[in-house]
């Protein structure tokens, strides 16, 4: 007779909640420990490529997320100075090409959908994990308030500064990329009508690039700017800054960008760090998932997608090997590490091409993009069909 496994998940972000939902749908007993006192509406947009939507389909929440997101026909790549269109990737064809659309969403909206779908999960806010311990046939999460949670499996879904990963494998050694990022969110109705924001856009220039795209059914415009600089080295998503940092940094870029920046009421900045893929994700009955396992640079837009895929594969492995949970974690790790590693390394390679300083190098890159758009078999701008075409549901059948 199969025993219902008890799973403790450290972290209530996208990966943690998706894992809780996937496991709940397979009958597991779930506890989620989230250190924040409540979900807060961090003003962050997320790109959900077709493979992410197919994972949400497995979780049973695809339609709810689509209803709250934004789906544009094109991603338009533009020149930093003239605004000239370098390439127009037709995202509207993704449903037919890959079996699911490309969606841009507000992170808070995605969390709301995932959380709202949970029925039996014990979701504990203000529960900060400070360490985990491996036991013979279980794991223990130790919390800051002195309490403990014992479970058959502990899943570390606690992000890039993962306490679980540090406990298992020691502190990591992130490398500063030399790039600073800023993010803001503007109300679409407040923007001048002559600034095109209905489609996703990417402005590419020397030493930097800027992306903006609609979220929350087009009501908000998420803006993320990247620039090569070593003037700031703090890796934090919540450090506020003044808009003057952007207008100064991007002086000389196209006027539409400079006009767009002041419409965000708040700006946040962080330094971008890179981490090598880890070889192992599990020790004993403790494993990693999402950014804690494979934090990656944002240049392929795969952070959330990889976490959603992880959740589906882990839950299936636990269900398949319910009487041998050690084998379940080994199966999960073997299935996920090659793809996650390829996404990490692919994101790293894209970083170089996005910020070319030489005008000649940028011209060659732009011609390559235009050639791919017209003649290429893989008509995604960054040759990402291998990512987008992955259907985790089909893989699990």
Domain limits, the chain = 6-172+276-396
Give me the pLDDT at residue 386, please.
95
What burial letters (b/e) apply to 173-203, b meaning 16+ CB within 10 Å? ebeebbbbbbbbbbebeebeeebebebbbbb
Q: Is the pLDDT of residue 3 over 80?
A: no
Q: Is the pLDDT of residue 1 over 60?
A: no
What's the pTM value of the predicted model, to 2 decimals? 0.96
Q: Is the pLDDT of residue 214 over 60?
A: yes
Beta-strand relationship, 239-241 and 264-274? antiparallel
Give me the pLDDT at residue 41, please.
64
- Kindly state the average pLDDT of the residues 232-258: 92
Q: Write out the catalytic residue numbers.
A: 213
- Kindly state the average pLDDT of the residues 31-50: 88
Q: Is the pLDDT of residue 109 over 70?
A: yes
What are the tens digits of pLDDT across the range 337-361? 999 999 999 999 888 889 999 999 9
Beta-strand relationship, 85-90 and 103-106? unpaired
What are the tens digits of pLDDT across the range 71-95? 989 999 999 999 999 999 889 889 9
What are the tens digits of pLDDT across the range 258-317? 999 999 999 999 999 999 888 899 999 999 999 999 999 999 999 999 999 999 999 999
Give me the pLDDT at residue 69, please.
96
Give me the pLDDT at residue 43, please.
66
Give me the pLDDT at residue 2, please.
60
CA distance 202 to 90: 14
Mean pLDDT of the residues in the chain: 94
- Of these ranges, 35-49, 243-257, 267-281, the one predicted with the greatest mean pLDDT is 243-257
Query: Counting beta carbons within 10 angstroms of the beta carbon of residue 77, is it exposed (0 to 12), middle (13 to 18) or buried (19 or more)?
Result: buried
What is the four-CA torsion angle of 281, 283, 287, 292, rounded to 10 degrees? -50
What are the tens digits of pLDDT across the range 124-151? 999 999 999 988 899 999 999 999 999 9
CA distance 216 to 262: 20
Query: Counting beta carbons within 10 angstroms of the beta carbon of residue 231, is it exposed (0 to 12), middle (13 to 18) or buried (19 or more)?
Result: exposed
CA distance 259 to 145: 48
Domain 6-172+276-396, classified CATH 3.50.50.60, yes or no = yes
Structure tokens that stand for 331 in this block: 């199966």
């Amino acid at each position: 007779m199969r025993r219902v496994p008890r799973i403790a998940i450290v972290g209530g972000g996208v990966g943690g909640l998706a894992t809780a939902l996937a496991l709940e749908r397979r009958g597991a007993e779930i506890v989620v420990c989230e250190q924040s006192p409540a979900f807060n509406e961090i003003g962050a947009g997320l790109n959900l490529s077709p493979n992410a939507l197919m994972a949400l389909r497995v979780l049973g929440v695809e339609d709810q997320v689509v209803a709250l997101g934004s789906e544009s026909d094109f991603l338009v790549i533009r020149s930093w100075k003239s605004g000239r269109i370098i390439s127009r990737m037709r995202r509207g064809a993704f449903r037919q090409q890959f079996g699911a659309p490309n969606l841009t969403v507000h992170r808070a909206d995605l969390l709301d959908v995932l959380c709202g779908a949970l029925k039996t999960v014990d979701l504990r806010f203000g529960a900060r994990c400070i360490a985990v311990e491996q036991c013979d046939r279980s794991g223990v999460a130790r919390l800051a308030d002195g309490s403990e949670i014992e479970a058959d499996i502990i899943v570390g879904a606690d992000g890039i500064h993962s306490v679980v990963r540090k406990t298992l494998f020691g502190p990591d050694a992130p490398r500063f990329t030399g790039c600073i990022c800023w993010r803001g969110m503007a109300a679409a109705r407040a923007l001048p009508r002559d600034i095109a924001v209905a489609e996703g856009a990417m402005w590419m220039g020397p030493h930097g690039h800027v992306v903006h795209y609609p979220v929350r059914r087009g009501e908000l415009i998420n803006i993320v700017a990247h620039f090569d600089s070593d003037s700031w080295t703090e890796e934090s998503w919540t450090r506020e800054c003044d808009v003057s940092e952007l207008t100064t940094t991007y002086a000389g870029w196209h006027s539409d960008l400079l006009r767009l920046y002041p419409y965000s009421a708040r700006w946040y900045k962080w330094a971008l760090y890179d981490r090598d893929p880890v070889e192992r994700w599990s020790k004993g009955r403790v494993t990693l998932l999402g950014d804690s396992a494979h934090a990656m640079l944002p240049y392929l837009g795969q952070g959330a997608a990889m976490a959603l895929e992880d959740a589906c594969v882990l839950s299936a492995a636990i269900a398949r090997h319910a009487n041998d949970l050690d084998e379940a974690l080994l199966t999960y790790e073997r299935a996920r590490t090659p793809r996650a590693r390829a996404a990490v390394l692919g994101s790293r390679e894209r970083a170089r091409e996005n910020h070319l300083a030489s005008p000649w190098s940028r011209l060659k890159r732009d011609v390559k993009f235009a050639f791919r758009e017209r003649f290429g078999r893989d008509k995604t701008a960054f040759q990402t069909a291998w990512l987008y075409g992955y259907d985790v549901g089909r893989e699990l059948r």
